[in-house]
A and B are shown apart, each in its own frame.
Chain A
Amino acid sequence: MLIPPANIVTVLNATSSLSGFGTSLLVAGLADSLGSTSNVTVFPPLNTAFAALPIYVLNYLFQPQGRSDLQQVLLFHVVPNAVIYSSTVTTTPATHATLNGQTVTVVLNGTTIQVDQASVVTTDVIASNGVGQVINR
């Protein structure tokens, strides 16, 4: 029997290498809304990308005074109203508006999908309300 996938937040939270993103969504108060939004593409960064931030930046983002900045960072990793499967990405750069109001450019470069300066390391994490493309930064 094939069980339909859970929502994107639940699916990503089940991956230990993405726990930083999952925790950040909770701290920022965005987990519930992202889990219940239809038709989204999420670019979750690996934990190693979070660890590469200076410690004082992480520490600031995780404090109450840094909450709105953390939200902006996380919303920059979500494209609404588009489910971008890897098969739809071509060598022609496509620009997508993110939930923080800025855009990201997604393009196929050789065999690697790039999202701005980041590379997709795990493609097509399927979820009930969209897809995740795991990036390295």
Chain B
Amino acid sequence: MITNFNSQVLLPRPFNLNLRQVLIGLNLTTFVSLIDQANMTSLLTGPANYTIFAPTNAAFSGISLPALAQTLQYHFTPGQVLSTLLSNGVLLRSLLSLPTLPAGGPQVLKIFRVQDFVGVNDANITLADNFASNGIVQIIDRYLSLSLSLSLSLSLFDI
């Protein structure tokens, strides 16, 4: 939480930024406007905790996303997932469920880590652990495409 920082400006109590405010502060404005377009704003402002893998504005440049809401859901995982918990090979469940898995099980995200380089699927985490009152923002350099989700899910299913 931001209140752990020492010697910062004396702040009113409580002073917390929610996920939407933190995303704006991180200049991830394309992601925020896509979330708004998909009527998913309450995920950013509600009480439930999420960790968001949020692409930079550049990651969306020139791209028209098919299945907008589903793609966006794939960038969320429940709870507060600190970068220190992101070990190589870790699988995280996303908010996206598709009928391609039994009982509509969640599509998963796969973490890779080589020393200090951490990524998710085919994206790199470029700025980790930006704390909000209701979650954490991990900035990534490209958006997470659903086709990768499907191949990850299938490989899981094979196991």
Point out residues on A near B: beta carbons under 8 Å. 43, 45, 48-50, 52-61, 63, 65-66, 69, 72-73, 76-77, 100, 102, 104, 115-118, 135-137
Q: Is B7 an interface residue (CB 8 A)?
A: yes
B130 near A56 with CB under 8 A, answer yes
Interchain CB contact under 8 A, B7 and A136: yes
B7 lies within 8 A of A48 (CB): yes
Name the B residues within 8 Å of A49 (CB-CB): 7-10
Chain B residues near A52: list those with CB within 8 A: 5-9
In contact, A59 and B2 (Cβ under 8 angstroms): no
- Min CB distance A112 to B, Å, is 15
List residues of chain B with CB within 8 A of the CB of A50. Answer: 8-9
Determine whether the beta carbon of A45 is less than 8 Å from that of B9: yes
- One of B12-20, B71-79, B143-151 contacting the partner: B12-20
Distance in angstroms between the alpha carbons of A41 and B4 in the assembled complex: 27
For chain B, give the interface size range: 20 to 34
For residue B56, give the distance in angstroms from its CB to the closest CB of chain A: 13
A10 to chain B, nearest CB (A): 22
Chain B: minimal CB distance from A50 (Å): 6
Q: Are B27 and A45 in contact (CB under 8 A)?
A: no
Cross-chain pairs A/B with CB under 8 angstroms, 16 sampled: A49-B8, A50-B8, A50-B9, A52-B7, A53-B2, A53-B5, A56-B17, A56-B130, A57-B25, A59-B26, A60-B24, A61-B25, A63-B24, A69-B21, A73-B11, A118-B10
Give the complex CA separation of A55 and B13 in angstroms: 20
Interface presence of B22 (CB below 8 A): yes
Inter-subunit contact B9/A59 (CB<8 Å):
no
Residues of B within 8 Å of A53, CB to CB, are 2, 5, 8-9
| C-alpha gap A60/B29 in the complex (Å) | 11
User: Once bound together, how far apart are the Cα atoms of A43 and B13, in whole Å?
Assistant: 16
Among A56, A104, A136, point to the contact of B25 (Cβ < 8 A).
A56
Are B17 and A60 in touch, CB under 8 angstroms? yes
> In the assembled complex, which residues on chain A have CB atoms less than 8 Å from the CB atom of B9?
45, 49-50, 52-53, 73, 137
- Rounded to whole angstroms, the CA-CA distance of A57 and B11 in the bound complex is 12
Chain B residues whose CB sits within 8 angstroms of the CB of A100 once the complex forms:
12
Q: How far is the CA of A73 from the CA of B8 in the complex (A)?
A: 12
- The reply to whether B26 and A56 contact each other, CB–CB distance below 8 Å, is yes
Tell me how far the C-beta of B4 lies from the nearest C-beta in chain A, rounded to whole angstroms.
Answer: 10
